[in-house]
Structures are given as structure tokens and as C-alpha cells.
Structure 1
Amino acid sequence: MPHCIIEYSAPLAHEIDIKQFVQLVHHGAINSGLFERSAIKTRAIKCDEYQVGDNHLGSFIHITMKILPGRTDEQKQHLLSAVYESISAETVSVYSLTLEVIDINANAYVKHLASGH
């Protein structure tokens, strides 16, 4: 844990190296010091159809970090700050940048690993 999910407007793929951006978010989560490196999962989802307010051309990035419950609000804020610090230089031209931390309902979450992992 966490699951770091990056949603982004499709045209940003021409402005930002998405593979590198995924690594920056991942490293931000690592740098928070809140999770084991091996537990962090980061992925990006391109959004071809979107609208930002009244701006049909506005770019966006939204990063959701889903974590198991038990972290304090201060720890969640620290995670947000660590990820933002890691990506801020790459996002200066992004029209809308948002980040959020969401607690997963532990009673409604199951994790299975392949044997030997």
C-alpha cells in the first residue's frame, strides 16, 4: 500500500514524459517514509475525453493515493507534500493539478499474491 493512481488529460503525454512522471510519483510515496518500497504501486491512466470547468482544452492531472486506514491526518498531509514536492517541477504548465488520499475500507479489500512472491 498505497495504490497511487495518476489520471491525466491525453494531450499531456506530448508535454510530460508519463513514464518518468509515474516514477516521480512513486519516489514521492517512497520519500514520505510511510510505506515499504515493495508495497507501493503506481500507475497512470490517460483520459481521452474530459473537460475542466468551462475550459475544453485545459489540461489536468489528478493523483489518488489509496491507503489502508490507520494513518493520521498529519501523515496523510505528509504523503501529499512528499508527492507534490517530487512532481512540482514537472507540472508547472498543467492547468489543474489535484492530489488526494483516500482510506480504503479494510473490510472490503482483499489482496492475493502469486505464490513465491
Structure 2
Amino acid sequence: MPHCIVEYSAPLAQQIAIDNLVEQVHRGAIESELFEPASIKSRAYSAEHYCVGEAKAASFIHISFKIMPGRSSEQKLHLMQCVDRLIAPLCASVSSITMEVLDIEREHYFKRLND
């Protein structure tokens, strides 16, 4: 844990190296020191169909962090700030960048590790 999920408007892949964006999100989660590095999972998905405000050429990045409960509001803010610091240089041309931290209910989470 956590799961770092990056959603982005598909045309951004022509402007930003998405693999680098994912690496910086992952690195930000590591640098937050809130998680064991080996437990962090990061990935990205493009949105082919989307709307952002009223601008036809607008773009977005939305990052969700799904984590186990127990972190304070200050720790969650720290996580988002660590990630924002690393992705900001990559995202100067992005119209909207948003993030959220979501607590997963332990009772509704399953994990199996295969060696």
C-alpha cells in the first residue's frame, strides 16, 4: 500500500512522458516516508473522452492515493505535497492537476502475495 493511480487526458501523452510522470509520483510516495517503498504501486490510465470546464483544449491530471487508514490529515497533505513538488516541473502546461487521498476499509481489502 498505497496504490497511486494517475488519470490523465489522453492528448497529454504527446506533451508529457507519462512513464516519467508515473515515476515521479512513485518517487514522491517514497520520499513522503509514510510507506514501505516495496509496498507502493503506481500506474497511469488515459482518458480518451473527457471534459474540463468549458475549454475544448483543456487537459487534466488526477492522482488518487488509496491507502490503509491510520494516517493523519497532515500526513496525507505531506504525501500530496511531496508528489506535487516532483511533478510540477513536468506539468506546467496542464490545465488542471488534482489529487486525493482515500482510505481503504481493511475489511474490504484483499491481498495475496505470491513468491
Do both share a fold (TM > 0.5)?
yes
Q: What's 2:35 paired with?
A: 35
The DSSP-based 3-state class of the residue aligned with 2:101 is strand
Amino acid at match of 2:86: S
Give 3-state SS (helix, strand or coil) of 2:34's partner. Answer: coil
Paired residues of 1:2 and 1:68 also in contact (CA < 8 A):
yes
Moved over 3 A (4+): none
Equivalent in the alignment of 1:92: 92
The Cα of 1:76 is off from its aligned counterpart by 0.4
TM-aligned CA deviation for residue 105 of structure 1: 1.1
Structure 2 match to 1:44: 44
Question: What is the DSSP-based 3-state SS (H/G/I as helix, E as strand, rest coil) of the residue aligned with 1:12?
Answer: helix
Separation of aligned partners in 2, 1:71 and 1:28: 16
Aligned residue pairs total: 115
How far residue 57 of structure 1 moved from its aligned partner, in angstroms, is 2.1
SS at match of 2:88: helix
Deviations 1:29-67 (A, max 9, x none): 000011111000000001000000112321000000000
The question of whether the paired residues in 2 share the 8 Å contact of 1:63 and 1:98 is answered with: yes
- Within 5 A, what are the aligned runs for 1:1-117? 1-114=1-114, 116=115
Counterpart of 2:16, as a letter, is I
Query: Aligned to 2:83, what secondary structure does the other structure show?
Result: helix
CA RMSD of aligned residues (A): 0.7
Mapped partners of 2:107, 2:57: distance in 1? 40
**Separation in 2 of the partners of 1:107 and 1:85?**
33
The TM-score normalised by the length of structure 1 is: 0.96
Contact kept, 8 Å, 1:66 with 1:102, in 2: the verdict is yes
Please give the alpha-carbon distance, in whole angstroms, between the structure 2 residues aligned to 1:48 and 1:4. 20
1:86 is displaced (CA, Å) by 1.0
